[in-house]
Amino acid sequence: MAKPDNLLPAKPTVQVIERMFTLLEILASREDAVSLKEISERSGLHPSTAHRILNDLAIGSFVDRPAAGNYRLGMRLLELGNLVKARLNVRDAALVPMRELHKLTQQPVNLSMRQGDEIVYVERTYSERSGMQVVRAIGGRAPLHLTSVGKLFLASDDPQRLRTYATRTGLPGQTRNSITELPVLERELSKARQYGIARDNEELELGVRCMAAGIYDDQNKLVAGLSISAPADRLDESWLSKLQATANEISVALGYTPR
C-alpha cells in the first residue's frame, strides 16, 4: 500500500542539496575513506558530478580527502555536531532548575550561549501572570559586551582575545549606560572574574537590569550562562545566591566538578 504523502520522508526541493545529502550519507556509512568510483556507483551520480560536489564540500571542511580520489567525512561536521549536542544537553539539564528559579523570583530566567561575538537566547522560563516582565525571545541575539551572560564569556577570554573583540566590533552602544570603552569594559570583566557573576545595568535596554552566573561542563569550560532579567527597580539582590546555586546545579548535571 502506498504511504500517504504526509508520511513520506521529506526531500530537499533543491536537487544539488539532495545530492549533497546523499553523498554525506554514503560517507557516513563507512568508517574508512570511500573511493570516488564507489561513491558514484552507490549514488547513481556521474563521477564528474560527484567529484564537483565533494570538492565543494571539502572547501568547507565538511569532507576530507586523505588521498587522491578518496573521501571521508570532515572535521567541520564533528564541530557542528558537538555544538548541537552541547546545546541540547545544556537545555535539557537546565529546564527544570530554571522553572524552580522562576517560581522563586517571579521574573524571567534566560539560558544563553555564545555564538561568535553575540550571545543567543536558547531557553527561557516566565509566567504571563507575573505582570510586567522582560522576556527575551528564544533565538534572539545580543552583543557580548552589553549583556550579563556575554560579559561572563568575555571575562573568560585572554586579554588579547578581548582586545581583538573590541577592535572587531567597535564596542557599539545601545543606551546611555552601554559600555563602549575598552578600559571600562576591562574593569567590569575583572569584577566578573573575581565574583563569578556579571551584570547588565540598563546597558542593552533602558529600564532593564540583569544578573548572570556561568554554567560549566565536565571539562570545567564555560558553556552557557543563566540570567535573571527584571525591570530596573525590581531586581532583588537576594536572588543572586539562588541564581548561583541554580547555575551550579545545572553545571553538576553536566559533569562539572566544583573546585
How high is the pLDDT of residue 1?
43
Domains of the chain with CATH codes: 12-73 (1.10.10.10), 81-253 (3.30.450.40)
Cα 215 vs. chain centroid, distance in angstroms? 12
Whether residue 169 is predicted with pLDDT greater than 50 in this model: the reply is: yes
Task: For residue 247, name the pLDDT band (cuts at 50, 70, 90).
Answer: very high
Instruction: Say which DSSP state 2 is in.
Output: P
pTM over 0.85: no
HEC profile of 96-140:
HHHHHHHHHHCCCEEEEEEECCEEEEEEEECCHHHCCCCCCCCCC
Give the tens place of pLDDT for each residue, 82-114.
Answer: 777 667 689 999 999 999 999 999 999 999 999
Q: What is the rounded CA–CA span in Å between residue 106 and residue 110?
A: 13
pLDDT tens digits, one per residue of 178-222: 999 999 999 999 999 999 999 999 999 999 999 999 999 988 999
d(CA 259, CA 170): 36
User: Strand (E) positions, 153-259?
Assistant: 197-201, 208-216, 222-231
- Pick from 81, 85, 140: nearest CA to 115: 140
Distance CA 250, CA 15 (A): 43
Q: Which three cell numbers stand for residue 78?
A: 564533528
